[in-house]
Structure 1
Amino acid sequence: MTKDEMTAKIAEGRGFIAALDQSGGSTPKALRAYGVNDDEWDGEEAMYGKIHDMRSRIISAPSFNGDRVIGAILFERTMDGAVDGKPTPTALIDKGVVPFIKIDKGLEDEANGVQLMKPMPTLDALLTRASGLGVFGTKERSVINSANPEGIAAVVAQQFEIGAQVTAHGMMPMLEPEYSINASDRAEGEVLLRDEILKHLDALPENQQVMLKLSIPAVAGTYDALVRHPKVLKVVALSGGFNRTDACAELAKNEGMIASFSRALLQELRAGQSDAEFDTVLDEAITAIHRASTEKTAA
């Protein structure tokens, strides 16, 4: 796929984006959920080897293809690895799946109800390497825990600042200001978040776009103005701790939003499954998430 073909595929949104980017502290938890216990690996390299094996198995599965999975977000080590003897981004592109890379390095301590992204001093080098491997875009996550206008403004400003750095490398930034689904003031805060994002979108140059990865809103339709905005290539939704059934039900109420799920995609996959069992379970998850992304219901 050319860059223009990747852009068109994401814009059309006839599927969803798989989030295969667990890193650092979340990796042991992901491995345990997959059925790989802590005593089955020793040291960081072995741990990352186990998670790469899992991701390789997913990407290689027959049901994981560009007909329904239109994109995949990779962890840096996954991007630098190989699947079926090919660089991981190439393996994805050959299956019709647009590759993205997670670029954030974790979160700062909470201040003003939010957690900003930690500094990324090596970001330009990472973007240069990723672009050279054919990666289309990036994903960068910060977290909002309460409806604090000052904090939300800071999160959005940082997201767009990093987005501009990504754009300068010819890549598509996927901005992810995640609003915690456990926040008691989420409905109020998501309106503040939407309006702050709109200010920054309106200020972008005419020839620039971003993607947005947002929590499924507490009130369906809250992000409709973002979905329709000409500076937004696509709005995708994170599952944010919902199980797959609930995440799909809530996502289906929001026109124009497609999924970018991690746990909700992987929750029933196990290392001990045969390849046939593994692909059957994966296919069921892909079917449900694809349907929620493309077949909408009344709120």
Structure 2
Amino acid sequence: MILVAGATGNVGGELLRQLRAEEVPVRALTRNPGLASLPADVEVVGGDLTTPDSLVKAFSGVDALFLMMSGNEVAVVEEAARAGVRRIVLLSSVAVETRPESLIGRLHREAEQAVEASGLEWTFLRPGQFASNTRAWASQISEGDVVRTPFARVGLPAIHPGDIAAVARTALTQEGHAGAVYPLSGPRSITPVEQVAAIGEAIGRKLRHEEITAERAGKEMAAYMPAEIVAATLEFLGDPTVTEARVLPTVEAVTGKPARTFARWARDNADGFR
């Protein structure tokens, strides 16, 4: 049995679908089972990673765990080990390598260290930019044909969450991935201008991009992000390191299938922009 934390999220939801398609026994963990829009045949259990005592039922009979950072990994992995879980795949971040002093890098590395110390088999996934981050543009697209972001011409190899899930699925269900750290990217760099065009093509509308200043973007992001996260995000988007901008072969090397393009992600998720 595999337990998927964050089963209603971008990566967890994709992982759940892939495991179900392969008829792998899977259980979905969510804080609010009654509000989770999951298929009727999926076993859904309530639990909160910040409250390990709430996970006892969720971990019962589980062999492998897909885990997302919660800030409470020490207690979570202790509970998992106590329940008999033997394998953990952790969704981490490229910032562990590229920006270790940033809040994002520090928190994800602390999560990795807690899993490493557990004595369980582990695999770490370190993606950079998610293609699904562009969901934040949905409100702009619903209001008109212009999407406004900073750094119009800075390209990053955004990854389809389905490919992160595919690597996770492989590591959860197959041998040979214990102790592996997998940096992940999409198949090519793509700028915000190109992303907007791809979404427009997917939904049958001619969208255009308008560049705004980093200062304006930061003020808008500050409404829902801590200041330190805003600063780190803007630095990542506007001045990526060589590693963050690099196209990596990891998805295909691990899964045997090439990474999906941003255009594919836009087509797969077009309904969210209509």
Give TM-score scaled by structure 2 length: 0.34
